[in-house]
Amino acid sequence: MIDLSINLNKIALIRNSRDTTIPDVVEHAKLCIAAGADGITVHPRPDQRHIRARDCFDLQSAIDVELNIEGNPFTAPRPCDRPSIGDYPGYMALVGAIRPAQATLVPDTDGQLTSDHGFNLDRDGERLRPIIGQLKDWGCRVSLFMDPDPSAMATAKAIGADRVELYTERYAQAHAAGDFAAVLQAYVETAEAALAVGLGINAGHDLNLNNLPDFVIPGLQEVSIGHAFTVDALSFGIKETIKRYQIALGKNL
């Protein structure tokens, strides 16, 4: 079965648009879990514009499903002049303190609006190797955010990754245009290459209720849904939206 991990960044973004604690990130995580979510994902960034470092600590102590913390492992600490928010400690310091079930490494820059590409392992692989080793020593499963490139899977395995998270924006755009077979094949071939070297497979970015049922690739273990889930929840409510996504993943509810 494919796990559904709900990304709470947009819930935090709504909260941060005002000087308030509403909506409460932890309570929304609990609502998602009660409705059937298999995991919770967050992607804190150095400017803390949505999920904040403090949210990650609060979630780890409050939820009973897997917590996945995404981020760029090369980010440095960043101070914050608002005590109510607290400083951003840097990705590795944050994960080292929390020890989440999964650490997903993403090559985004500090000011980037959203993730828009995977790692180039020819360039960054050796820099990532000791970082992956440290994360695994902390007990984290390590996933690398990757473009659909079969040739990169052996390197991802060689530097120590447990899984790859396939960046699915290309697929989502092709699906919306109504001609996605060729693009999907690239993901199928990448998944096959990942399985051949012993990597697990996650996927995420712009997956939604329309395109998720057609995203059929071998060995898929987890999808992370955030933006589309939040939008759908405004229409259907959290419980019904979780149900619809689980059905889209092929589960009989």
Residue 20 pLDDT: 87
Residue 114 pLDDT: 63
Sign, CA dihedral 103-3-212-12, equals negative
High-pLDDT (> 70) share of the chain, %:
97
* CB count in 10 Å sphere of residue 8: 25
Residue 4 pLDDT: 98
Is 50 labeled as catalytic in the residue annotation?
Answer: no
- Catalytic residue chosen out of the listed positions 28, 50, 175, 205: 205
- Catalytic residue chosen out of the listed positions 50, 70, 165, 175: 70
What's the rounded Cα separation, in Å, for the pair 187 and 97? 34
The parts of the chain modelled with pLDDT lower than 50 are: none
Query: What distance lies between CA 4 and its chain's CA centroid?
Result: 11
Whether residue 253 lies inside any domain: the answer is no
* CATH number of the domain within which 147 lies: 3.20.20.70
Domain enclosing residue 237, as ranges: 3-248
- Catalytic residue chosen out of the listed positions 28, 43, 50, 175: 43
Residue 89 pLDDT: 87
Name the domain count of the chain. Answer: 1
| Structure tokens, 138 | 């902390």
Residue 111 pLDDT: 65
CA Rg, the chain, in Å? 17
Residue 81 pLDDT: 77
Residue 243 pLDDT: 98
Q: Which residues lie closer than 8 Å to 43 by C-beta, 6 or more apart?
A: 7, 9, 50, 51, 69, 70, 71, 106, 115
Residue 117 pLDDT: 79
